[in-house]
A and B are shown apart, each in its own frame.
Chain A
Amino acid sequence: MGKRSNEPFLWLLFSAGGVIAAIVMPVPLFLFGLAFPLGWLEGPSYDRLLELLRHPVGKLYLVCLCSLPLFHWAHRFRFTLFDGLQIKHLNELIDTFCYGGAILGTAVSVYIAFRIP
């Protein structure tokens, strides 16, 4: 058998993404997805949001929130497709779709973070 799998690396990404998704996501999702659009609460102004995102911590928040949860999704969804739909024979296609998607998302979020005026 010899050389061990590099799966631990993917598991680490999955775990980090899971932690971010669990701890950070609920409140922003509730506020921006429901409370503000439905008028339950007053949301931050355009200028305020931009100010938040200009801050380095704001940029870090953006990249973390968009990148790691996507790797969490990639790992979990890949296994769901293997086991749930039993299409493991398409594993190369699935791996590309899942991890490719996560890498793409990461790249986009980093790009946006840099493009903030």
Chain B
Amino acid sequence: MADRITLEVARYHPERDEKPGIQTFEVPLKKEWVILDALNYVKDKVDGSLSFRWSCRMGICGSCGMMVNGEPKLTCATFLTEYAPGPIRVEPLKNFPVIRDLVVDITDFLVKLSKAKPWLIRNEEKPLADGEYLQTPEQLDSYKQFSMCINCLLCYAACPIYGLDPQFGGPAALALAQRYNMDSRDQGASERMDILSHDDGIWGCTFVGECTEVCPKHVDPAGAIQQYKLTATQAWIKQMLMPWGGK
């Protein structure tokens, strides 16, 4: 195995560049190094101006998502040796505006996430003296998978619909809405459905399925959305047959 590998890193200086360009760096090829280690090596030893986000370096904070050879990856969980002999192309996460180098603007996602109301909605709260909301292991199991989302946005980079349609809510936001819909403590399913059973919500999804493929936490957002479509359809049928029923 060679002891060096080439990184082709996207650079974008908003104050002087029209569009991103590529700068190559040679970095040590160590078997225990991930892409993030290589980027930090560049920043420490070669070019301190290289900008990128990272935090936990162990696949839980969701900060270090980037495109590696055209695939969305967590750079803290992607080994250099996987791409030997290289070169490895590192670019900012697809489908988001690029602020600088490898840093993208995720405001759009945050807006759409809030729209999905990813918190427990109650018609009325139990008084504290009554104790906790109890939940059986089976009840937890019904939404647990969708709760594993770390908001890393790899699914948004993989989703062509999100890239094509600026209105589309996107995989994670919709999956997280479903996570709360399925939570036995939640009473907000109807409220969320009013917002999300639209073309910019679940009905914009055409089940490409790439979001599920790239998710590092195995959330299966595609599955969540298809289940949501089925629930929304059942609710629609019920409303058609019994329009006088209250929500």
Contacts and interface: CB of A to CB of B under 8 A. Distances in A.
Interface string A2-43: 111111110110000000000000000000000000000000
Contacts of B195: 1
B93 to A, nearest CB: 20
Contact of B199 (A5, A83, A86): A5
Nearest to B205: A79
B160 interface: yes
Contact of A8 (B164, B199, B232): B232
Contact of B164 (A2, A5, A6, A86): A86
A7 B199 CA distance: 8
Contact of B206 (A6, A8, A79): A79
Interface in B11-36: none
Interface string B153-191: 000000011001100000000000000000000000000
Given A6-B236, A8-B233, A12-B233, A1 B198 contact: yes
B197 interface: yes
A8 B160 contact: no
Interface residues of B, number: 19
A1 B239 CA distance: 17
Contact of A11 (B165, B198, B233, B239): B233
A8 B229 CA distance: 8
A12 B160 CA distance: 24
Nearest to B233: A8
Give the interface size bracket for A toward B: 10 to 19
A12 B206 CA distance: 14
Contacts of B197: 4-5, 7-8
Contacts of B194: 1-4
A24 to B, nearest CB: 22
A83 B193 contact: no
B237 interface: yes
A4 B236 contact: yes
B52 interface: no
B162 to A, nearest CB: 11
B210 to A, nearest CB: 13
A11 B206 contact: no
Nearest to B203: A7
A88 B166 CA distance: 12
B198 A8 contact: no
B232 A4 contact: yes
B173 to A, nearest CB: 14
B236 A8 contact: yes
Contacts of A5: 197-199, 203
Contacts of B164: 82-83, 86
Interface string B134-162: 00000000000000000000000000110
30 contacts: A1-B195, A1-B198, A3-B194, A4-B193, A4-B194, A4-B197, A4-B198, A4-B232, A4-B235, A4-B239, A5-B198, A5-B199, A5-B203, A6-B236, A7-B197, A7-B198, A7-B199, A7-B203, A8-B197, A8-B229, A8-B232, A8-B237, A11-B233, A79-B206, A82-B164, A83-B160, A83-B164, A83-B165, A83-B206, A88-B165
The 4 closest A-B pairs by CB, nearest first: A8-B236, A8-B233, A7-B203, A4-B197
